[in-house]
Amino acid sequence: MKEIDIRNVSDFFIGQTEDNTGTTGCTVILSKEGAVAGVDVRGGAPGTRETDLMRSENMVQKVHGLFLAGGSAYGLSAGSGVMQWLEEHHIGFETGPVKVPIVPGAILYDIDPSRPAVRPDAAMGYEAARIAWENPPFSNGRYGAGTGATVGKLFGRENSMKGGIGSYAFQSGKVKVGAVIAVNCFGDVVDPGTGRVVAGLHKNGEFLRTETHLMNNVSTVPVTDSFQGNTTIGVLLTNASLHKSEANKLASISHNGLARTIRPSHTYVDGDTLFTMHGDEVACDVNGLGAMAAFAVEKAVLRAFEH
């Protein structure tokens, strides 16, 4: 196995843009010919667009773009900008009189209390799509959908830490797999190899370990407001050929990478959502691909903090 550039996984184009005055942003992945895609939503508080059409039994087989954005539900507007850019470039699902770009997406909560009106919109989605077509190097950290992300929020923002977005890609034989993950979790980020807390709930320079605190205080009724502002979202990219049903299963398996690195993950107050996009180039064993997918997600989560 060898690490590769996320841009070399397949014929995907990734772009990011952000508004640092409101600490929010958008990340877009485009596919000119369309890509078989899947999705799996595990968190209890998701915000998504066009995920129903990705169900295995539904008609549309490919997506042309996908976005990850901040802004809570307001950030779903970014998808309209991605659609506009794709329509202008004649990319979409052929319906006869017009091509309709298929653009699913997911959002995370990063609204800045001091600038609540600043959030991703159609203009930001359009700009991220334009940048994606230029195929720039991917930036890990406080960029795109990870710009305003935070982690470890059990005791509110003052005891949380900055999150971010990370990418990781690698190759085994002819099969290539990569992940782009925006980390904005309620829990802590933990290196599964060492057990070390990378980022999360802290006080007076010490990590408090969210998972342990929750278990020790399970009889305590939580204050709802302290659980605001969570969700980890991302996309798994591969050159593997899969049917739509397999793509959805791979999205499900990919969540293993979140479970290894985020403690706890998939909580009632997270909206954890992972997509997959497939380049349809190489046949492979789906079980092996699943193992690669979970590993890529795991590494991408950690990369969000290596800046």
Pick the more confident residue, 177 or 203.
177
On whether the CB atoms of residues 183 and 189 are closer than 8 A, the answer is yes
Tell me what pLDDT residue 201 has.
Answer: 94
Class of domain 2-303: alpha beta
Reading the block at residue 265, the tokens are 């993950």
Peptide bond into 264 cis (omega under 30): yes
Phi-psi region of 273 (alpha: psi -120 to 50; beta: other; left: phi over 0): beta
Question: What pLDDT, in 10s, does the model give residues 112-129?
Answer: 888 888 999 999 999 999
Tell me what pLDDT residue 158 has.
Answer: 87
Q: Is the pLDDT of residue 223 over 80?
A: no
Q: What percent of the chain has pLDDT over 90?
A: 79
Q: Is the pLDDT of residue 164 over 90?
A: yes
- The DSSP bridge pattern shows strands 62-69 and 24-41 to be antiparallel
Tell me what pLDDT residue 219 has.
Answer: 82
- The DSSP bridge pattern shows strands 105-107 and 62-69 to be parallel
Q: Is the pLDDT of residue 225 over 60?
A: no
Whole-number Å distance between alpha carbons of 142 and 20:
9
Q: Confidence class of residue 213 from pLDDT cuts 50, 70 and 90? A: confident
Pick the more confident residue, 301 or 155.
301
Tell me what pLDDT residue 44 has.
Answer: 81
Q: Which of 43-52, 65-74, 150-159 has the highest mean pLDDT?
A: 65-74
One-letter amino acid for residue 12 of the chain: F
One-letter amino acid for residue 116 of the chain: P
* pTM of the model as a whole: 0.95
Question: What pLDDT, in 10s, does the model give residues 65-104?
Answer: 999 999 999 999 999 999 999 999 999 998 888 999 999 9
Tell me what pLDDT residue 129 has.
Answer: 98
Question: What pLDDT, in 10s, does the model give residues 240-282?
Answer: 999 999 999 999 999 999 999 999 999 888 889 999 999 999 9
Domain positions in the chain are 2-303
Q: Is the pLDDT of residue 224 over 60?
A: no
- Written as one string, the DSSP assignment of 145-206 is GGTT-EE--TT-GGG-EE-EEEEEEEEETTEEEEEEEEE--SSEEE-TTT--EEE--EETTE
Reading the block at residue 27, the tokens are 């990340």
Tell me what pLDDT residue 135 has.
Answer: 93
Average pLDDT taken over every residue of the chain: 93
Tell me what pLDDT residue 221 has.
Answer: 60
